[in-house]
Structure 1
Amino acid sequence: MKAKLILVVFIQSVYLCLTDAQNIIIEGDNPLVANGGDRKVIACKVVSGVANGENPDLKWYDNRGSVVTTSGRIFVLSQSATDLKLLLNDVQEDDAGSYNCTGFINGQLQSAHVVVKTKMPLIITEEQAPRTQLFPEGGSARIKCAPQGQVSVSWRDRNGTRIESSHDRYVISPGYLEIPNVNRTDDGMYQCVVIGGGDFEVVKITVTVTVPPQIVKPPTAQSVSVGEAARFECVATAKPAPKYYWYFNSITLELTGERYNISRDAGVLIIKKVIKDDAGTYKCVARSTDKSDEKDAALTVLVPPQINKLDNATGDEGTSATIKCTAYGEPIPKITWMKEGTSVEITDGTQIDNSDIVASQVTRPDRMEVEGSLQISNLKSSDAGFYICKATNEAKSVEKSAYLSVQYKPNFSKVMKDVMYSWGGQSTNIKCIATGVPSADISWAKEGQEINAGDQYYSLKSVTIGEDTESTLTVSVDFSNEGIVFGVYTCKAGNAIGESTKNFTLQRADPPPSPSAQLKETTPISITFDVNIPKTFNGPPVQEIEVRYSNAQPRKERVGKPYPIVVLSKPYGDYPLKFNLQWNTPNNGGFPISSVYVKYAQVEVFPNKSASNEFQRKEYISGWNPPITVDGAATAYEITGLKPSSYYEVEVTAVNNKGTSDARAFIFVTSKVQSSGYVGFAQALLPSKLVLTMATVLWACLGILL
């Protein structure tokens, strides 16, 4: 902005001669002194010599000899024909001079004049001496202070000390103080002292030595998943402190908008919620004065993997089968495999520990997709199970399971007894358990002679659960057929893949001797006996006892692993993220239960329930979690970390020093909405009083079920 240095100027008056008559006068001071910016009124009047009705035609002439009109900063105002006022508004320096008032008196031109002197304040404008002046480091700083008019100028340094013209650091020239090779230590306040017209002014000038921006901490490349926030930071040194601006790719417009948080002072750019189109290059520009520096960094937008397709597979024993898994993501994910229940990861290529297993994958860049294949050759029944496909990229990993079914000829359970015992008057069950896919059909023969349902002395019953088929041959022994029924029995199990056979021997044994019992202890809820078991002859040791109470059904006490646990909870959970699992106290098999194992896995179920109104598993969504160990006396456990509206299969098994109970699957579903407050449950164990009226201990030999 430009302005003028106005000096106090006194304009010498030039007096014009008035006519002798002095009919026209100017009222007030003459000369008239007016300060800059003032408003002045000068009256010109006719005081005599005007005849009645005569118009003197008064006029004012300015200091340049021009007639003053009724408009403008300097104008006239007529009060009457004999009174004409001159008005000076906002007096300026060049208003100084002689002003004349003229008129006609009796036809003769007469005039009067007034000399106006102006006195202006000493003002140094921003244009003449900028109050803040910037100079780049290393250059020559020319500090400007150039007032107009007849003035003298002197300088003072940052400490207020007068700078002499002979100073070895500073160079004084008209209108400037020069500092060669300026550096940051020259920053500060300098004073320009201006003297003129009897007045003086001290102009304070702030000198800043500028340093061009240099980015010392450039933004770094980011890899961010869709929906997450991305943060870039840029730090630069500069003087004055820089401002930061951000640009995307080759777009020249600065980044703005609600999707961004941008700090001009801190150099931070935050993209609140990244989308795929945000991928690209982000440029940071640091600006200070007219200088700038810039650096850029790339943003990679990641799309977490999704497994689009994974199908179960089936193969015959000795052949091969392939499980295929298709996944999508950006970058394209990598696929690895793992068999459920193992910790060995299966990667691409032939596996070192098993050359029958080969993994491979093919990428489709145009779809951002990968298809992984797991091929297993020379299939064995042990290859059957769930296989986990794991898709991984820089964003995350996801897993999904597929089931490999291996069809194989039946094989027999190792827990079956090869030798059975019986005697006249008893019925003996011979159990044959065969495992195969498809499930086995079982037939029986005695010493080559096929046994059919309904044959004398025999009855048959078969049950198939999953891959296991259990066939029970019941042999009725009486004293008339002992020579017929004892001997070797053959169980033949077959399916579409092949057949297998197993022999069982039924031997004659003496009836078990009678035991004796002696009362040892009674409590309000129990009675304890010491039982004496006599030594048996021509037969196996005693394996089971039956304790019979009054008003109760006979109950067998098996010596061995615990009986299966029965889950008591309802299948519909009360909570979205947890489930209260309750179960019965199982029969311990004659030995204390040391612990209870709880394991669960997320599953998908069929739309329709089973005939017993239970959920039916369609496939596993996740692998089994590691078994959770619970105290053997516990009958409840709270499963946490679940998902809302999700189905889970759980297995609860009991353990004693003889083994682990058989598992029974139970499927439940979590609730949809988070429950408010807490929903508790209580179990009341009501004491009961048992009165033992009669105890009969019946003994049975191995393999004889009463």
Structure 2
Amino acid sequence: MEGAFSFAVIFLAFFLHASDGAELVLTPSIEQEKSAGGNFVINCAVKDFNVIPKWYNPNGEEIKLNNRTNLRTTANSVKLYLLNLKAEDAGTYTCNATVNGKLLEKIINLKIFKKLSLLNCAEIQQPVISTNAKINCTASGDPAPTVSWRYNGNTLQTGGRYDIKPDGLVIRNISEADNGVYEIESEITIRSDFIVRDIKVTVTIPPVITEPPVMLDPIKGSDFTMTCKADGKPKPTYSWVKDGMTLDDSRFDIDEFGGSLKISSVKETDSGTYTCIASNVGGTAKAKAKVTVLIPPTLKPMTNEQAEENKRVTLLCIGEGVPLPSLTWQKGSDAPFAQGPQASDSRIVVSENKGKQTKLKLVITSLKAEDAANYTCTATNRAGTESKKVQLRIDYSPQFVNTPLVAYNWMNNKRNISCSAKGLPKPLISWQTKYGKIGSIDETYRIFQSEGYELSTSYLQVHVSRNNENTVFTDYQCTATNKLGQKDITITLKQAVVPRAPQKVSHTDLSPTTITLIISKPTNNGGIEVDQYRIEYATGGHYNHTDVFVNSDADDEFTKVVLKRLTPVTKYQIKVFAGNAVGLSTKSYDLSVATLNVRIPYDVFINSDRLSTSPTSYIVTWQEPRTGGSEITSYSVQYRMVHIKKNVEPWEVDPNAKNGKFIAHTVKGKTRSVLNNLESNTYYEVQVVANNIIGPSEPRPMIILTKENPLPVVTVPQQKENSNTDTNKGDQSLVNNSTIIDQSLESTTATINVKTTTKERTVNKTVDKIDTLKSSSAPRINQTVNSPETPQAATSAGISDGGIVGVIIALLIIILIVIDLGCYVKLNKGVTKFLLENACKRGAAGKDKSTDVEAGASQETNLLAEKEKKDGEANGEENKEPASDEGVTDEKNEDKDELMKDHTDEIEPDQKKDEEIMSQDPTGKAFLSLSLSLSLSFSLSRSSYCLLPFLSQYLVVCCCCCQCLS
């Protein structure tokens, strides 16, 4: 028992000693000062004991978790977090814990100060112009900070236009000159804290309406747009309201930045006052416009009217629309009636009445048949027009129309007497004579009817015969009847007779084989139309005749008749009779006319267009002329290149310019021809001459222009030696077998250019005259030859194909020479070695060889000269036959072949000598082969094609080089 008591005493003493050692530890432990908006954390721990302490706020309340407070605990500690500190968070915070019944407590003081900051301080500010504007920016802190302003590097002071306020900088009467960047600096010295901020100031100009919306009258159902424009800085935005109400309907489309208002499918309710509002940060501006929606006019339905003649009728037209339409009445296609009684007809009166509708009355009194028509009412306002028609029908008694009072007939003929009457209702027609009513069909009379809506036409067919000729030629009464009355008309049937002779016959436009007669109608046609003339003509007692039928509906007083296939230089007796359906006149109009002598054909007129559709050809067409009494045997189509006078219309040949000579070719049996090988964009004088046994017709020249060639053509200039043969643009290239019309020269000289490798030869060949026209006045006809060797134009610019080949050949020769020199230096072989050895060994033989080569060249020149001499002697033989392009080409080729042959014969002895050398020395053989080939090639290089033989020689040289390199 005593032992247990002792243990308890010892344990209590230990426990009391342990509790005396417990304490609270704060981290941090000293007073804290924090800025508002910041965070604060502190830890409270019980030393050596696992006891969790508690925190209490300055109000003595235990701190709980919330959105700004957090607690984190361990076995013997608790950490307090205060977030986003505020001024009310300042004060004394207490941490306590109870250890073995003993209360432990510690406190810490927390101070909150306001951090340096700039409030209400936008970086971009837009004050309004001409106001005392404040640049807003308030410096806040604890203690109160100091503030300074700078602009363009200068510190601003209160005074003048500036006033520094706690909440900003005031600038009096601000303008656009004050735009720029302003700098504010706020400082709390005791805290060593400062803030600097730039504020961009742009002075705002409030909107000013520059283009207000205008009053518009849109049409119902249409789309329309109103526009509004305003100036201001910054650019204003736009909004629209109608009668103070916003526009929410999807039919309204507002351009916020452009200022327009578009209204789709306009309704009548869209009428009102629209306001355009332009806004920016500086203010707003407004402008109004009134809109009245127009409604197109409409007309009430109308019904057709019917009345009797001599009665009264009223036509009423009612129109609606916005604005109220104006109405008019018109009859058919006549002009609209004026208001009130009509000046041309007082029976017609028009009156108008306007209220909610427009009413227009048309009153016609004492109605007549001609009042019947379609009447149109037309309504018009600014929105459009509308028309409606009403038919007015007038019942009236019969009226005769288009009924002749006299008719003609003749023996054994059937002919109709017509009677036409109109009326409403449609009238009935009957016939009678003094012998009684005609109703039945017999051998003398038949009746045919033709009816329309108001018109009735009756045809009484009368057959005249020997049995009734004494009774049918009488008066016929036609009677028309309807419910409103009856009308009669008398038609006299007379007997038709043959006409008199023509009143006059004259002649005009005589030719060797034709006579043209002009026949005047007879003074009396016998009662019916003259439908023919008979012309009898003879050179002796026997008359031929021809009948000419005349259109009976023609109103011409004269008839033109042409007598053809007559004999030249012959006098004809002519009789002309007039005829109608009864027969020919008993008398004739007589005259005597002589045909002309046979002559050259009449002039040929070209009817093709003067502008050619091709740059190199032209299709000429012409009218076939009168023959002049002799058959046209052929046409001569002639053309030449010409220059025209400037600014003269129609085109005329300039006689002072150097124009070309006429080229001609013959055409038979056709009135068209194609001119080929023309130059583009060039004027040509074209004429066609007709030929008969007498001679050619007089030319009727026409100037034509060929089409411009779309492809560029580069012209090769002529050599100076040939300048004396140029005839500028007028000397065009001639076509094969073409004929030159030259009225001043007996012969024509053709120049043929033949090129050689050393110079250009010119061979002049004179071609004799080959034909003449049968007429002594006809121009002399010569023929010319165009040498194919003469260059006309190059098809492209730059180096020719022959030039390119020559460059390639030169490069190959240079390469071969370099290779041969390498062979000589390295291997002591090649052409160079051969040349050096032969120069040293042969001596005089080398000189002889050189002389032979020069002699060969001289022989070639002599051959060329000899050939020229032969060509000159051959001219006399050539002039006996017409030359052609083909002939020239063949002759040139023969010259070349002959020259080749002569040249080959000359060098043959040298070839034999060289063959011996070549058989002894392979290198010499290669060199000699190359030399001979090159010599022959240069001899043949008079034409551009003579470079081709070089190709075979390159193979020989290559073989030589291969031998050297081996």
Identity %: 30
Distance 1:380 1:204, change over 3 A: same
Residue identity in the other structure for 1:395: A
Q: Tell me by how many angstroms 1:77 deviates.
A: 4.0
1:559 equivalent to 2:552? Answer: yes
* 2:431 aligned counterpart, secondary structure: strand
Matches within 5 A, 1:168-183: 168-183=160-175
Checking the alignment, whether the CA contact within 8 Å between 1:422 and 1:506 is kept in structure 2 is: no
Distance across 1 between alignment mates of 2:108 and 2:494:
157
Rate the CA distance shift 1:404–1:504 in 2: closer, same or farther, 3 A: same
User: 2:469 maps to which residue?
Assistant: 482
Contact 1:234–1:284, Cα closer than 8 Å, also in 2: yes
The alpha carbon displacement at 1:536 in A equals: 13
CA distance in 2, matches of 1:535, 1:134: 107
Does the Cα contact within 8 Å between 2:268 and 2:293 map onto a contact in 1?
Answer: yes
Which amino acid counterpart does residue 351 of structure 1 have in structure 2? Q
Distance in structure 2 (CA, Å) of the matches to 1:165 and 1:20: 68
Q: Describe the SS at the equivalent of 1:482.
A: coil
Name the counterpart of 2:155: 162
Q: Residues 47-86 of structure 1: matches in 2 within 5 Å?
A: 47=47, 58-60=53-55, 64=58, 66=60, 68-72=62-66, 73-74=68-69, 76-80=71-75, 82-86=76-80
Give the aligned partner of residue 266 of structure 2: 274
Counterpart CA distance in 2 for 1:20 and 1:238 is: 83
1:25 corresponds in structure 2 to 25
Counterpart secondary structure, 1:223: coil
CA displacement at 1:314 relative to structure 2: 3.5
**Corresponding position of 1:435:** 422
Q: Is the 8 A contact 2:499 2:530 kept in 1?
A: no
* Shift of residue 472, structure 1, vs aligned partner: 1.7
- Quick one: which amino acid aligns to residue 262 of structure 1? I
Structure 1 residues not aligned, in runs of 5+: 1-18, 514-531, 546-555, 563-706
* Structure 1 residue matching 2:274: 3-state secondary structure: strand
For residue 328 of structure 1, what is the aligned residue in structure 2? 320
Q: What is the Cα deviation at residue 136 of structure 1?
A: 3.8
Asked if the contact 1:309/1:327 (under 8 Å) is kept, the reply is no
Match of 2:252 among 249, 254, 260: 260
Greater relative CO, 1 or 2 (CA 8 Å, sep 6+)? 1
1:391 to 349, 363, 379: 379
Matched residue of 1:434: which SS?
Answer: strand
Distance in structure 2 (CA, Å) of the matches to 1:544 and 1:312: 50
Task: Tell me the TM-score normalised to structure 1 length.
Answer: 0.61
Per the alignment, residue 215 of structure 1 pairs with 209
- 3-state SS, counterpart of residue 480 of structure 2: strand
Secondary structure in structure 2 of the residue aligned to 1:265: coil
**Structure 1 residues 429 and 199: CA distance shift in structure 2, 3 A:** same
Helix, strand or coil at the partner of 1:142: strand
Structure 1 485/290 Cα, relative in aligned 2: closer, same or farther at 3 Å?
same
Q: CA deviation at 1:488?
A: 1.9
The structure that is strand-richer by fraction is 1
Deviations 1:535-583 (A, max 9, x none): 99994355569xxxxxxxxxx9973289xxxxxxxxxxxxxxxxxxxxx
Change (3 A) 1:485 1:85: closer
| Contact 2:496–2:528 (Cα < 8 Å) also in 1 | no
Change (3 A) 1:220 1:145: same
Residue 154 of structure 1, CA deviation: 0.6
Structure 1 or 2, whichever has the larger Rg, is 2
By how many angstroms is 1:170 displaced? 1.4
Counterpart CA distance in 2 for 1:106 and 1:431 is 154
AA partner of residue 419 (structure 1): A
8 A Cα contact 1:98 1:116, kept in partner: yes
Contact 2:206 2:284 in 1 (8 A): yes
Q: Partner residue of 2:221?
A: 227
Cα distance in 1 between the residues matched to 2:285 and 2:338: 47
Quote the offset at 1:404 in angstroms.
Answer: 2.9
In the alignment, structure 1 residue 491 sits paired with structure 2 residue 478: yes
Task: Give 1:212-611 correspondences, 5 Å limit.
Answer: 212-249=206-243, 252-289=244-281, 291-342=283-334, 344-365=335-356, 369-414=357-402, 416=404, 418-423=406-411, 425-447=412-434, 449-454=436-441, 457-509=444-496, 539-541=526-528, 559-560=552-553
Q: How does 1:87-126 map to 2 (within 5 A)?
A: 87-91=81-85, 99=93, 101-103=95-97, 111-112=105-106, 122-126=116-120
SS at match of 1:185: helix
Residues of 1 paired with 2:318 and 2:98: CA distance? 114
2:184 counterpart of 1:192: yes
Change (3 A) 1:83 1:429: closer
Unmatched runs of 5 consecutive residues or more in structure 2: 1-18, 501-518, 533-548, 556-966
Pairwise CA RMSD:
4.1
Amino acid at match of 1:338: Q
2:955 matched residue in structure 1: none
Q: Could you tell me how far apart the structure 2 residues matched to 1:253 and 1:283 are?
A: 10
- Quote the Cα distance in structure 1 between the aligned partners of 2:103 and 2:111: 26
Q: Which amino acid aligns with 2:455?
A: D
**Distance in structure 1 (CA, Å) of the matches to 2:166 and 2:155:** 16
For residue 155 of structure 2, give the secondary structure of its aligned residue in structure 1: coil
- Whether the 8 Å CA contact 2:124–2:202 is kept in 1: the answer is yes
Cα distance in 2 for residues equivalent to 1:125 and 1:170: 20
Please point out which of 199, 206, 226 is paired with 1:205.
Answer: 199
Q: Which residue of 2 is the match for residue 137 of structure 1?
A: 129
Cα distance in 2 for residues equivalent to 1:350 and 1:322 = 14
**What is the CA-CA distance between 1:256 and the residue it aligns to?**
0.8
* Contact 2:497/2:527 (8 A) holds in 1: no
| 1:70–1:77 Cα contact (<8 Å) kept | no
| CA apart distance, 1:291 | 4.6
Distance 1:179 1:475, change over 3 A: same
SS for the counterpart of 1:284 is strand
Q: Which residue identity does 2:342 align to in structure 1?
A: Q
Amino acid across the alignment from 1:299: V
Task: Report SS of the residue matched to 2:74.
Answer: strand
* Cα distance between partner residues in 1 of 2:203 and 2:523: 112
In 2, Cα distance between the equivalents of 1:478 and 1:56? 162
Aligned partner of 2:461: which letter? T
Contact 2:55 2:94 in 1 (8 A): yes
Q: How far apart are residue 40 of structure 1 and its match?
A: 5.2
The 1:320–1:104 alpha-carbon spacing in structure 2 relative to 1, beyond 3 Å, is closer
Give, in whole Å, the separation in 2 of the partners of 1:486 and 1:287: 103
After TM superposition, give the deviation of residue 512 of structure 1 in Å.
9.9
SS of residue in 1 equivalent to 2:470: helix
**Would the alpha carbon gap of residues 384 and 107 (structure 1) be closer, same or farther in structure 2, given more than 3 Å must change?**
closer
Alpha-carbon distance in 2 for matches of 1:535, 1:111: 158
Shift in Å at residue 270 of structure 1?
Answer: 2.0
Instruction: Name whichever structure is richer in helix by fraction.
Output: 2
Indicate the larger mover: 197-206 or 211-220.
Answer: 211-220
Residue 335 of structure 1 aligns to which amino acid in structure 2?
L
Aligned counterpart, 1:573: none
Tell me the CA shift for residue 444 of structure 1.
2.3
Question: Contact (CA 8 Å) 1:427, 1:474: kept in 2 or not?
Answer: yes
